[in-house]
Amino acid sequence: MPRLPATLLLLLIAFSTAANALTLTDEERQWLDKHPELRLGVDASWPPFEFRDEKGLYTGLAADYVELIKNRLGVSIKPVEPYDWSSVLELAKEGSLDWLPGIMSTPERQKTLAFTRPYLDFPIVILAHKGGPAPKNIDELYGLKIAVVENYAPHELLHAKHPDLNLVALPNVSSALQALATDQVDAMVGDLASSVWSLRQLKLDGLYVSGETPYRYQLAMAVPKDQTILLRLLDKVMADMTPREIEAIQARWIGNTGDYQALWRGLLLYVLPGILLLVTVLIVVVRINRRLSSEIARRVALEQELRSSEYRYRGLVESLSAIAWEAQRDDYTYTYVSPQAETLIGYPLADWLTPGFWERIIHPDDLPRTKTYCESEIKAGRDHSIDYRVITADGRTLWLRDIITLSTHNQTPVLRGLMINISETKQTEEALRLSEEKFAKAFHASPDGLLLSRQSDGLLIEINEGFSRLTGYDSASALNRSSLDLNIWADVHQRQELLTRLSEDGFVRDFRCKLRHKSGRIRICEVSSRPLKIGDEDCMLTITRDITERQQMQEKLLQTATVFESTAEGILFTDPAQTITAVNRAFTEITGYSEAEVLGQTPRILASNQHDSAFFAAMWHQLSGEGHWQGEIYNKRKNGEVYPCWITISAVHNSENIVTHFVAVFADISSLKHAQARLDHQVHHDPLTGLPNRLLFESRLDQILNQQNAQDQHAAVLFLDLDRFKNINDSLGHPVGDLLLKGITARLKVQLRDIDTVARLGGDEFIILLPGLQQPHDAEVIANKLLACFSAPFPAGEHELFISASIGISVYPHDGTDVATLVKNADAAMYRSKLKGRNRVERYTHDLTSQASERVILEQELRRALERNELSLFYQPKISLHDLSLVGAEALIRWTHPTLGVIAPERFIHLAEENGMIIQVGDWVLECACMQLNEWNQTYAPFGPVSVNLAGAQLHQPRLVGRIRQLLKKYNLQPGYLQLEITENFIMNQTEEALDVLHQLKRLGVQLAIDDFGTGYSSLSYLKRLPLDTLKIDQSFVRGLPHDPNDEAIVRAIIALGRSMQFTVIAEGVENQAQQDFLANAGCEQIQGYIVSVPLSAEEFATTFLRISISDFSDSTAEKPSL
């Protein structure tokens, strides 16, 4: 600097130092008088600018400025320190703060705050992690995850100007750096000063500044926008600070981090040419405006600093303990190395600059790896680092970490780097490895159970053989599982107590607890545990010692062995943790457990699960408060039998009023309960089968429905009705029927789960409850399983009976949500199963509701149909295949309702059979047919018998034979004019009593025919005993003729059987000429069906068949009755 400007600057400093009084206006003084205390917004997590030190004191660069300003203005400060910086900004917007000491001006903040001139300027930089992306500018940040401190200036700037960046907002600088160090983010953007400070404090390796942003961090102070006077005061004090004061504050916290090159250029371009004029002006006004003099003083100090900056930076490189170097990129020949190269490696600097030197000093074992890696990284254009060994000049081996950057010098590509001696680090790593090896050997050789677990999730990461012996789990089954997963805690509350002690004291020693072996055995142990750092993970080392035998021996010495052995009541002692320590003889007699089986267990071994947690909570509440409890409780014997007992529990205290034991005395009251249970069982169970009755079933169903609402599962009700059970009762008697019901009960129980309920509603009806189904289809699977169990015969005394069942299903919640609806809908589904032929399963559908309603209506209307003469008989002719003459007719019932129209027989015959009206209807059919036959006989010549279908229930009527005899006499009919048709299935299921009725009818002269032959299970030995006249081939076999070979074979067999037994064979349902021809050729004697005529009214039948010749009916050209 020229001598004159320097002299003037010194003179200016002298003047400014002498003027030490801050000049304030009257308005400013008045404002300070009204505001003696200022609320300071503090961000205590932003070192080095403002933070709390180890003593909790507010400190930092901004804090030093605050202290200086506070003293200059004569005010007191009230720090306001919310949770984070975002909260500070929010309080400032609300007007709850007067002053923010460290903040950068942004467009968003300028809406509510006014800012002083910046008092610190430094770059906003990009930090990266070694081995990860190395963005050098804003453009290279796109596509990366970038950590920023939430609501700090870099966050606001990047969010506003680069909204497409993937920003991860974190609460403070430390958390952002840690996220970068752990690869949770790819880069971090922040101010240089706080980032360097936090890196130094956190001691994070591998983080470095990879680039700069175009933005500067201009640190200023801020006040609410309306506080113009306070803003003016802050600017005055800042301008009044001397360069020495400013330098002292900044040097203390951030060192020389300014952009000295920029300031130097500014000084040369702007300061020095005008310094003479500036000094002259300042001399004149120095006492008027201290602010200007302070500025000049700062610039003088800055000039001196800039002069020495080059020397300091040059000395920085030379003072490094590492080797700074530059080399040619093509052959790795060094063009520069720092003086430390000779000190560290021992070779003269001149040797370093010779070609091939780098390869010569690398350890031969490391050279191929090192050279290959560096060449690949240089070729890829990436900065990189690598660890390798070198041979020093004196023959020693050193470990170096070489950090290499690709750069240019005078537009020539070069390599620049820094070699760091990491030999001590490597030695430390080797020592650590040896230490870990010793620890591992000691760990696995210990006879105690040792384990290492992670604190974060409790998972076991290492166990020894001692732990395996103690718990039964080897490494394969224990590692990466927690102690809870292994279920080794006999009492999880002890685990919680252990964790509580660890949290409070940091370690646990000789903690006594109970652990469970894999086999279920309980072991008493002492556990010691303390934290252990393994790598970057916080772990726990736990030592477990088995003291079961020692504990048992100690407790045995404290107990007497004979005091309670003579009582008839069971007695047991437990310790305060409820572990059974002693039992008497009566205990073993009552419970079935020996002393050895219960010692070390808890009374829960007797638990019957009959009581909920609230019951035991109340019991222990009274026991803790009053010292005793008495009441009734259900326990379980060793054989699984649950029994009631009356028990008294008392707590035993020592001289210090501490509970040492609990004593329980109990008596078995099973005999009293059995009498009560028998009465209760009679109320809720079926006396014949022992199954639950309707009352108990509906109670259980209601309970299940309430549970299903909470568990989101399905339940099903199965309504099971035995097919034709009444026939067995009527034919074989009720004792046989009772035996059959018991057999069915036993077989149903075997097919069901323990949680299912099968109940008997009465008669031949069962109802089944299936709770806990995962899907509705499961009910159908179980129902079909039940249906299959009816395939084998049931033994009933001297009989073996075949019987089938029809099952209806309703499913909760689809088919109903209450008891009544589910039972009703299951019943409706069962009824449809009956209609579809029995021996099947049907699921309830919504149309069954209307069908059930229709069924009720039909039942009511059917009762009135006889009174209203709505029933009538139609007649279908039968012809001989020998000469095509009329040989008889079948009477078929029809119902014509005034509003419902014609109702087919299949809609009401089954209903009549179920409700018992079939007796009345069948009697009406018999009399109507006899009456019609009498009328025809008076007008027309006899043409053959009229056949009437006889219901099974009619056959069991004791007066059936007498009734038929009466009708024949009443209508003056020959017995042979009447033919009774009985189904094959019904005949085969009848007893000797029914066989006797058939023989009586035969002796009366009535013709007997077996209907639907071939669909049942006829026994030839039984069939030959029947007094039959006619076999009627069922239309199901005729329908496939003559093309179905199976039907053809069956029909031929039936015809052969009938003719061999001297029966007339007739086929029903014949509809075409081909069927008629086949039957004629096969030897069938008679047919009926649509080929002859549809069923006709009595008048139509007489007009059509009794007045005209029948000889031309087989001719396809002849006129036939309308079908």
| DSSP string for 36-79 | SEEEEE--TEETTTEEE-TT--EESHHHHHHHHHHHHHT-EEEE
Q: Write the pLDDT tens digit of every residue in 82-140.
A: 877 888 889 988 889 999 998 988 888 888 999 998 888 878 999 998 888 999 999 99
Burial class of residue 115 (count of CB atoms within 10 Å of its CB; 0-12, 13-18, 19+): buried
Contact 179, 117 (CB under 8 A): no
Burial class of residue 965 (count of CB atoms within 10 Å of its CB; 0-12, 13-18, 19+): middle
Q: How far apart are CA 440 and CA 18, in angstroms?
A: 73
DSSP class per residue in 854-885: HHHHHHHHHHHHTTTT-EEEEEEEEEETTT--
- State residue 394's pLDDT score: 92
Cis peptide before 958 (omega within 30 of 0): no
Mean per-residue pLDDT over the chain, rounded: 83
832 conformational bin, left if phi > 0, alpha if psi -120 to 50, beta if neither = alpha
Q: How far apart are CA 826 and CA 765, in angstroms?
A: 12
Token code pair at residue 1104: 């059509």
493 pLDDT exceeds 80? Answer: yes
Q: What angle do CA 1025, 1026, 1032 make, to 5 degrees?
A: 135
Q: How far apart are CA 45 and CA 198, in angstroms?
A: 10
- CA torsion through residues 184, 189, 192, 198, sign: negative
Task: Determine which of 392-401, 403-412, 930-939 has the lowest per-residue pLDDT on average.
Answer: 403-412
Task: Determine which of 247-261, 296-310, 576-590 has the lowest per-residue pLDDT on average.
Answer: 296-310
Burial class of residue 429 (count of CB atoms within 10 Å of its CB; 0-12, 13-18, 19+): exposed
**For the residues 364-385, what does the mean pLDDT come to?**
91
Q: Which domains does the chain have, with CATH numbers?
A: 320-426 (3.30.450.20), 446-547 (3.30.450.20), 558-674 (3.30.450.20), 685-845 (3.30.70.270), 860-1105 (3.20.20.450)
588 pLDDT exceeds 70? Answer: yes
- CA torsion through residues 256, 260, 262, 264, sign: positive
Length of the chain: 1123
**For the residues 829-848, what does the mean pLDDT come to?**
86
Closest CA to 678 of 670, 695, 632: 670
700 conformational bin, left if phi > 0, alpha if psi -120 to 50, beta if neither = alpha
375 pLDDT exceeds 60? Answer: yes
Q: Write the pLDDT tens digit of every residue in 1062-1121.
A: 899 999 999 999 999 999 999 999 999 999 999 999 999 999 998 643 444 444 333 444
**SS3 at position 725:** helix
Residue ranges in 363-491 assigned as alpha helix (H) = 367-380, 423-445, 465-471, 475-478, 483-486
Closest CA to 544 of 577, 511, 590: 511
For helices 905-915 and 847-865, give the axis angle rounded to 10 degrees: 80
Those residues with Cβ within 8 angstroms of residue 908's Cβ, 6 or more apart along the chain or in another chain: 858, 862, 895
- CA torsion through residues 777, 781, 784, 786, sign: negative
Contact 489, 507 (CB under 8 A): no
- State residue 918's pLDDT score: 86
> Percent of the chain having pLDDT more than 70?
86
- State residue 780's pLDDT score: 93
- State residue 751's pLDDT score: 93
Q: How far apart are CA 126 and CA 212, in angstroms?
A: 5
Task: Determine which of 177-191, 544-558, 918-932, 988-1002 has the lowest per-residue pLDDT on average.
Answer: 988-1002
- State residue 152's pLDDT score: 87
Q: How far apart are CA 1040 and CA 1078, in angstroms?
A: 11
Q: What band does 727 get if pLDDT is binned at 50, 70 and 90?
A: confident
Bridge partners, residue 668, by sequence? 645
Phi then psi for residue 317, to 5 deg, are: -65, -45
989 pLDDT exceeds 80? Answer: no
Closest CA to 198 of 55, 311, 47: 47
Contact 112, 234 (CB under 8 A): no
Contact 587, 570 (CB under 8 A): yes
Closest CA to 893 of 917, 963, 940, 1037: 917
Task: Determine which of 67-71, 830-834, 977-981, 1010-1014 has the lowest per-residue pLDDT on average.
Answer: 1010-1014
Contact 576, 660 (CB under 8 A): yes
770 pLDDT exceeds 60? Answer: yes
Q: How far apart are CA 452 and CA 460, in angstroms?
A: 6
Q: How far apart are CA 889 and CA 572, in angstroms?
A: 89
Burial class of residue 664 (count of CB atoms within 10 Å of its CB; 0-12, 13-18, 19+): buried
Q: H/E element holding 220?
A: strand 207-224
- State residue 319's pLDDT score: 53
Which letter does DSSP use for residue 489 in this model? B
**Which contacts (CB < 8 Å, 24+ apart) does range 487-490 have?**
487/516, 488/515, 488/516, 488/517, 489/513, 489/514, 489/515, 489/516, 490/514, 490/515, 490/516, 490/522
Within 10 A of 838 (CB to CB), how many other CB atoms are there? 16
785 pLDDT exceeds 60? Answer: yes
DSSP class per residue in 581-626: EEE-HHHHHHH---HHHHTTS-GGGGB-S-S-HHHHHHHHHHHHHH
Q: How far apart are CA 1085 and CA 1087, in angstroms?
A: 7
Task: Please identify which residue in the block is written with the tokens 């027989």.
Answer: 905
501 pLDDT exceeds 50? Answer: yes
Burial state string for 164-179 with b = 16 or more CB within 10 A and e = fewer than 16: ebebbebebbbbbbbb
Phi then psi for residue 1064, to 5 deg, are: -75, 130
Q: How far apart are CA 255 and CA 258, in angstroms?
A: 9
Token code pair at residue 961: 């034979």
Between β-strands 1007-1013 and 1030-1033, what pairing exists: parallel, antiparallel or unpaired? parallel
- State residue 1005's pLDDT score: 93
3-state SS, one letter per residue, for 1066-1106 = EECCCCCHHHHHHHHHHCCCEECCCCCCCCECHHHHHHHHC
Q: How far apart are CA 961 and CA 971, in angstroms?
A: 16
Q: How far apart are CA 225 and CA 93, in angstroms?
A: 10
The type of residue at 470 is: L
Those residues with Cβ within 8 angstroms of residue 213's Cβ, 6 or more apart along the chain or in another chain: 123, 124, 125, 126, 137, 138, 154, 189
1061-to-1026, 1033, 1058 alpha-carbon distances in Å: 11, 15, 5
Contact 42, 80 (CB under 8 A): yes
Task: Please identify which residue in the block is written with the tokens 């101010």.
Answer: 191
Q: How far apart are CA 532 and CA 714, in angstroms?
A: 51
Q: How far apart are CA 786 and CA 823, in angstroms?
A: 18
Within 10 A of 769 (CB to CB), how many other CB atoms are there? 23
Give counts: helices (H), strands (E), the chain.
43, 43
Query: E strands along 753-837, which residues?
Result: 757-762, 765-773, 794-796, 799-801, 805-812
> Percent of the chain having pLDDT more than 90?
39
Contact 729, 789 (CB under 8 A): no
